[in-house]
Chain A
């Protein structure tokens, strides 16, 4: 059935949401809808990527994203190989390029790359002949996360344009926030960010978001409350005083959620720090879309892999 949608992206790679136009995003979401249905069947296999080699090259530990890409590739019939490269064993720049050249010589068709440094995936993409999917680079972009979030929102709200989305928490270190801000903007949503000033990058307003420093104001009448993980492992210094104070002022509990619209829905890219940025009662509550987000992740990644494969030279 997906053969019916024959659209392609303008670029060879998917390095970020930035640069995608609205029709490309909705095209990917439409295709992903079809894979959602497929994934709920007993027979989930397709042959679109038969014969293709997909390498998941992860320079940073990941469980859900890596397994999601692996399942997506396998369901489309690709041969999937996972390469986890501990960041400690990598000596930055030159070795990254060497790795790229080495892998390239093995003729993969799709490289799915996560790296702890912003811009590293784009750097690697310039050195290889296959198509590259950014699975998260530093605090820059995580395009498939933004796509799966958009799909989740669209399926639950019926639209994205005109919604008010509050992205809350550690925006400073979050690639999820950047990709989501760009995507939601492109599709016509109103985006807010809510965080203490120390967790907001300077000049965040220039991305076209409204900035709030309290949850009470930032969540007011929001349709979607998107929580971000407090990236404690990235905090070189002291950005917040303590987890206790952070949860008190910025942790999403039912009291704070009351400020949002009555039918507001809650999202979180995972993995969650329960009791840090989100209360368990909310995370597991009736307004949480968190489990659905994971399901949409596989579908969106299948859509991305399928679409990119259409432009491979020998396709």
Chain B
């Protein structure tokens, strides 16, 4: 895949035995072993260890823990370049490794924005030299994220951008988005679009009774559905590949369902935050719950969970967005939106499994196989020959999230002090262990 320092090391072969092997790319879930060598998955099946341990291999007894493809997080902000005090490629990659994430797709909303092939190149080189997991940048849809002129989609893709997004900004001009979708189709490039009309999203939280009680201005759900409806109609004409970055409400899911039924090249994500919390969690103006798009009602959260279970929502993302203390220790309406999420993504998502709302194979598909397929990455599978990017986790191990144990440079997690079930025991990238729980 990529000839990085980390990845060019020749790690000792690894035989993971006595594991619950889950490969969502093949829908399989069985008790067996996984053998990793030369940076790739050599075998995943029953009784590999019984037929003898390969020469020089390190044997790890998983004691029934799950071995699954490493997570592919399709939406994470890393502050490099320009906001290294919030997160670097190194710190984000360690946070990712601790969360079982082996591939980060980083956002282009840096300073300067990723709208030039040279910046894609910079990120790939920095990641190669400093990160312990794989990093693929998305590039901007429009120059300077201004929503006016499309970026050099062909050259950026050739430089290594895996998709195009303006981050948490919607392209307001329908004509600009239409032309960009049309142009991107020639390169089979994916546009990942934040569906939130800026003019209707000046508030601090979801519009409704709770916002009224708190005296905060609200963002209506229609701010999202109007943009999504528009986009779906643009896709119907332009036929470029489109991914809705973060849907939050039941109304949007109905739009998404119609688009998929019509056979349009449309996919969508939900963030772990919108699957875990509702607007009431804001409680007494807790700014770690200030998000963009905002947390919605419990009905919406339940609808999102059902959509993950049914596969209507393709991907679950962390929407990792580190904010320093200065950005969060402010009145709610003045605080920066966003939450970190790389380290808690899997543990938080497992809550849905423990609540019997989503089965584990489907969940892992949404966290690895589906995003890899949408982005065209060789990941999210335990198929022999695939890169040895694997996570080992105990889905039942309980713990309390202590902010001090976070590896991210920021602490703005809504799971602060939360009780979580499911812990990552080991994360392996290209056959090398990059995180181990001790």
**Which A residues fall within an 8 A CB radius of B?**
196-198, 213-214, 237-242, 244-245, 248-249
Contacts and interface: CB of A to CB of B under 8 A. Distances in A.
B186 A238 contact: no
Contacts of B182: 197-198
Interface in B167-194: 175-176, 179, 182-183, 185-186
23 contacts: A196-B183, A197-B185, A197-B186, A197-B238, A198-B182, A214-B186, A238-B150, A238-B176, A238-B179, A239-B179, A241-B143, A241-B150, A241-B151, A241-B152, A241-B153, A241-B154, A241-B183, A242-B152, A244-B155, A245-B152, A248-B154, A248-B155, A249-B154
B148 interface: yes
B417 interface: no
Contact of B176 (A214, A237, A240, A248): A237
Nearest to A213: B186
Contacts of A244: 152, 155
B266 to A, nearest CB: 18
Contacts of B155: 241, 244-245, 248
Contact of A240 (B175, B183, B185, B238): B183
A119 to B, nearest CB: 24
B235 to A, nearest CB: 14
B149 interface: yes
A197 B183 contact: yes
Given A197-B185, A238-B179, A241-B150, 17 more contacts: A196-B183, A196-B186, A197-B183, A197-B186, A197-B238, A198-B183, A237-B176, A237-B179, A238-B150, A241-B143, A241-B149, A241-B152, A241-B153, A241-B183, A244-B152, A244-B155, A245-B153
Nearest to A241: B152
A245 B176 contact: no
Contacts of A249: 154
Interface of B: 143, 148-155, 175-176, 179, 182-183, 185-186, 238
Given A196-B186, A198-B182, A238 B149 contact: yes
Contacts of A196: 183, 186
A154 B60 CA distance: 76
Nearest to A200: B182
Nearest to B155: A245
Contacts of A241: 143, 149-155, 183
A198 B152 contact: no
Contacts of B151: 241
The 3 A-B pairs with the shortest beta carbon distances in the complex, nearest first, are A238-B149, A245-B152, A241-B152
A75 to B, nearest CB: 46
Contacts of B153: 241, 245
Nearest to A195: B186
A215 to B, nearest CB: 12
Nearest to B186: A213
A241 B151 CA distance: 5
Nearest to A236: B175
B105 to A, nearest CB: 21
A285 to B, nearest CB: 26
Contacts of B238: 197
Nearest to B153: A241
A213 B153 CA distance: 14
A169 to B, nearest CB: 14
A238 B154 contact: no
B149 A198 contact: no
Contacts of B143: 241
Nearest to B184: A197
A125 B307 CA distance: 62
